Structure 1
Amino acid sequence: MSVHTMETLSLFNSEPYRRDFGARVIAVVDQAVVLEHTLFYPTGGGQPGDTGYFSLVDGTRIAVTGTVRDPLLPSIIWHQVQECPPQLCTGALLNASLDWQRRYQHMKMHTCLHLLGALIDAPVTGCSISVDKGRLDFHLPEMTLDKDSITRDLNTLIERACPINVMTMQASEYSDLPKKTARPPVFQDELRVVEISGVDIQPCGGTHVHNTREIGRVYCEKIEKKSRTNRRVILRFEQA
Structure 2
Amino acid sequence: MTDVLPRPFAVDHPDVLQLDVAALDARPGAVLLARSPFYPGGGGQLPDRGTIAWNGFVRDVVGFEPTADGLWHLIGDDAIPDGTIELHVDPAFRQRMCEQHTVAHLVNSAVYTLFDGALLTGVRMTDSDEFSVDFDLPKVAPEQPRAVEDAVNAAIADDRPVRAFDMPYDDAQATAGLFRAKSVAPPRQADGLIRIVDIDGLDRQACGGTHLVSTVQARRVRVLKVDNKGRQNRRFRIGLGSD
Assess same fold via TM > 0.5: yes
SS at match of 2:10: coil
Note if contact 1:164-1:210 (Cα within 8 Å) is conserved in structure 2.
yes
- Deviation for aligned residue 1:205: 0.3
Residue-by-residue CA offset, 1:112-134 (whole Å, 9 max, x unaligned): 00010100120001111123222
> What per-residue deviation string (whole Å, max 9, x for no partner) do you get for residues 125-150 of structure 1?
11111232221111111323633332
Alignment of 1:26-175 (within 5 A): 26-56=24-54, 58-70=55-67, 73=68, 76-86=70-80, 88-89=81-82, 92-121=83-112, 122-131=118-127, 132-144=129-141, 146-175=144-173
Label 1:8 to 1:22 Cα distance change in 2 as closer, same or farther (>3 A): farther
Q: 1:221 to 1:195 in 2, by over 3 A?
A: same
**AA in 2 matched with 1:223:** V
State whether residues 34 and 70 of structure 2, in contact with CA within 8 Å, keep that contact through their aligned partners in structure 1.
no
RMSD: 2.2
Q: Comparing 185-194 with 93-102, which one deviates more in the overlay?
A: 185-194
Distance 2:119 2:6 in 1: 32
Could you tell me the TM-score, scaled by structure 1's length? 0.87
SS at match of 1:37: coil
Look up the equivalent residue of 1:196 and give its one-letter code: I
Partner of 1:201: 204
Identity %: 25
- Give the whole-Å Cα distance in 1 for the aligned partners of 2:72 and 2:227: 35
Residues matched between the structures, number: 229
| CA positional deviation for 1:38 | 0.6
Deviation at 1:60, TM superposition (A): 1.1
Structure 1 position 154, deviation (Å): 1.2
Whole-angstrom distance in 2 between the partners of 1:31 and 1:239: 41
Bigger mean CA deviation after superposition, 22-31 or 98-107: 22-31
Describe the shift of the 1:218–1:60 C-alpha distance in structure 2 as closer, same or farther (beyond 3 A). same
Match of 2:214 among 211, 216, 219: 211
Unaligned runs of 5+ in 1: none
- Answer yes or no: is the 8 Å Cα contact 1:8–1:37 preserved in 2: no
The alignment partner of 1:83 has SS state of coil
Q: Name stretches of at least 5 consecutive residues in structure 2 with no aligned partner.
A: 113-117
Report the Cα distance in structure 2 between the residues aligned to 1:157 and 1:151, rounded to whole angstroms: 10
After TM superposition, where is structure 1 displaced by more than 4 Å over at least 4 residues in a row?
A: none
Match of 1:192 among 192, 195, 201: 195
